Structure 1
């Protein structure tokens, strides 16, 4: 694909085929992603990639152990409005009514199961860098590069915070070393085009809404 096709065409994928993803292809994608820029070339990121087999029950634990990034305060204002907006798009695509508590709960649990993707990539960084402002930014850059590299090769992905909310379970199940801070998880696999939510394209702010130009001629 051309660069613009990848950027404009990529969608968050929440429904996957069960087909396995070859390890060599994952390594190729990671090698591309790791060309992402990082502060002073620190390259703080590491990856724990595991194939879907048996997963811990999503209700087993609902806490963090300090091994993952804090969730922060709840969204408010326009950020909350955008969060609600994409949720409405997804629920409409999936036929989930506002008052259907059972289907809504099932959707939440799908997130904890990494949307049943055949591969889960957990992005971590070296604990010695904890507290650095640059490190989370750098991990975001490599994560963005990863999902775009995957899309360019026909693979879908979704960056998923739910997948690491139970960090003690995640750390144990994925064999994550104690010297690593869990940053984010990514579900990865071949998109199931028949899954309705995969057709959802979230709305984006316009350039003029997000940008202030200084010193440019009109």
Structure 2
């Protein structure tokens, strides 16, 4: 694919085929993504790539603990709930997804199942858990750099026909994730990426989110109109 085609064509994938993803393809994706910039080339990121039975155990543990009311234990700091314009955008994409899936506002069972899909890593065949070196905890640059490489992963995956969705639900129960992914104690769990071959029959995969206009997002200073 051309670069523009990747950027303009990519979308979040929440429904996957059961087909396994070859390890060599994932290695290609990660190798390409690690060309992403980082502060003074610190490269704070590491990746735990999980599939098969270990991923099934993470899914089961996440779901069981959340259903039992165990408080979430995300390791990377969480902020306040979205409000104002940001909340409006969040609600809008949720409405798009529920409409695509045919989930009515009063269909609590289907809405609950949708939430549980997140804790199951959207049933994707692969989960990439993004961590960073604990010695860098509190650094302003580190989360920025990890965001950069995560974006590069989803774009590199898309260029090879793979779909992704970046999510936090899959790492809400960090003790479960640590145990079954074998995450070292010197790492902080930041994000997870569901990855696999897109199921084109899954309605939510067709959802394309809107973006702010350049005029809304940018301020140009010193340019001649």
- Shorter-chain TM band: over 0.9
Q: Distance in 1 between matches of 2:173 and 2:83?
A: 24
- Deviation, structure 1 residue 60: 1.8
Partners of 1:63 and 1:167 within 8 A in 2: no
SS of aligned partner of 1:157: strand
Question: How many corresponding residue pairs?
Answer: 217
- Deviation, structure 1 residue 169: 1.1
TM-score by length of 1: 0.97
Q: Counterpart of 1:182?
A: 189
- Deviation, structure 1 residue 168: 1.2
Q: Which is further off, 134-143 or 50-59? A: 50-59
After superposition, where does 1:31-70 map in structure 2 within 5 Å? 31-53=31-53, 54-55=56-57, 56-57=60-61, 58-61=63-66, 62-65=70-73, 68-70=75-77
Q: Counterpart of 1:10?
A: 10
Q: Counterpart of 1:19?
A: 19
Q: Counterpart of 2:85?
A: 78
TM-score by length of 2: 0.94
Match of 2:142 among 122, 128, 135: 135
- Deviation, structure 1 residue 31: 0.1
1:193 aligns with 2:200: yes
Q: Distance in 2 between matches of 1:14 and 1:136?
A: 24
Deviations 1:118-148 (A, max 9, x none): 0000000000000000000000000000000
C-alpha change, 1:145 and 1:104, in structure 2 (3 Å) is: same
More helix by share: 2
RMSD: 1.0
Q: Distance in 2 between matches of 1:196 and 1:52?
A: 25
SS of aligned partner of 1:60: helix
> Structure 2: 5+ residue runs without aligned partners?
none
- Deviation, structure 1 residue 59: 2.6
